[in-house]
Amino acid sequence: MYRSRKRSPDAEPREPKPARPQTPDEQRAALMEYALRALAQRALSAAELRGKLEKRSQNEEHVQGVLSRLTELRYLDDNQVARIEGQRRGVGAYRVQARLKQRGVAQDVIEQTLQERDPDEDLAQARALLERRLSALRRGTNPRMKAYGLLARRGYGGDVIRRALEGMNWAVTDDKGESEDAEWLGEEE
């Protein structure tokens, strides 16, 4: 059975042993382990991972070596990051573009990702979002303006927003299920 050592109350506290400095190979291995843990949490762009590694190590050579090795192993791929970001549902092309720029992805990769997006799919997603939020949007004074703002904040372009708003039924029904007058929408029949 394990017995804990009891120190006498008058004993001086022990100083921890000084840590042995890491060799360059150990530093590189520790940096690689850190990079792999970071990539296991979520897909990172090369610029994001570089920033994390540079905070961790002052040695540019080690950082570049780890990035090169991860790229070679295909664990680090900006095209894949852009593809994942481009396939996000419920966000428009402007949001995707801004997010990829923020993550440090190259402009040509961003343009390629935006070209691969289907405009009809964007419109369908925008309409689905409006359908989900329609009851909340109808409350208040100007539901079209609220809907326009919602879609614009999600990164949809003006053309997609306009087309999505055209197909919506903005009439409000009362408790009896009858349609109320649409004058409050600013529309005249």
| Average predicted confidence (pLDDT) for the chain | 85
Q: Are residues 105 and 144 in the same domain?
A: no
The pLDDT score that the predictor gives to residue 181 is 44
The answer to the question of residue 177 being in a domain is: no
pLDDT tens digits, one per residue of 73-86:
999 999 999 999 99
The pLDDT score that the predictor gives to residue 62 is 92
What is the mean predicted confidence (pLDDT) over 158-182? Answer: 70
Q: Are residues 61 and 89 in the same domain?
A: no
Q: Are residues 66 and 84 in the same domain?
A: no
Q: Is 26 exposed, middle or buried (0-12, 13-18, 19+ CB in 10 A)?
A: exposed
Q: Taking 50 as the threshold, does the pLDDT of residue 132 lie above it?
A: yes
For residue 173, what are the β-bridge partners? 179
Residue 31: which CATH number?
A: 1.10.10
Lowest mean pLDDT among 4-18, 77-91, 148-162, 169-183: 169-183
Q: Give the residue, 28 or 188, on which the prediction is more confident.
A: 28
The pLDDT score that the predictor gives to residue 167 is 73
Q: Are residues 83 and 103 in the same domain?
A: yes
Q: Are residues 83 and 64 in the same domain?
A: no
DSSP summary character for residue 8: P
Residue whose C-alpha is closest to residue 148's, from 136, 135, 160: 160
Residue-range definition of the domain harbouring residue 96 = 78-117
The answer to the question of residue 29 being in a domain is: yes
CA 117 – CA 169 distance, rounded (Å): 27
The percentage of the chain sitting over the pLDDT mark of 70, rounded to a whole number, equals 84
Q: Give the residue, 16 or 156, on which the prediction is more confident.
A: 156
Q: Are residues 98 and 123 in the same domain?
A: no
Q: Are residues 70 and 82 in the same domain?
A: no
The answer to the question of residue 41 being in a domain is: yes
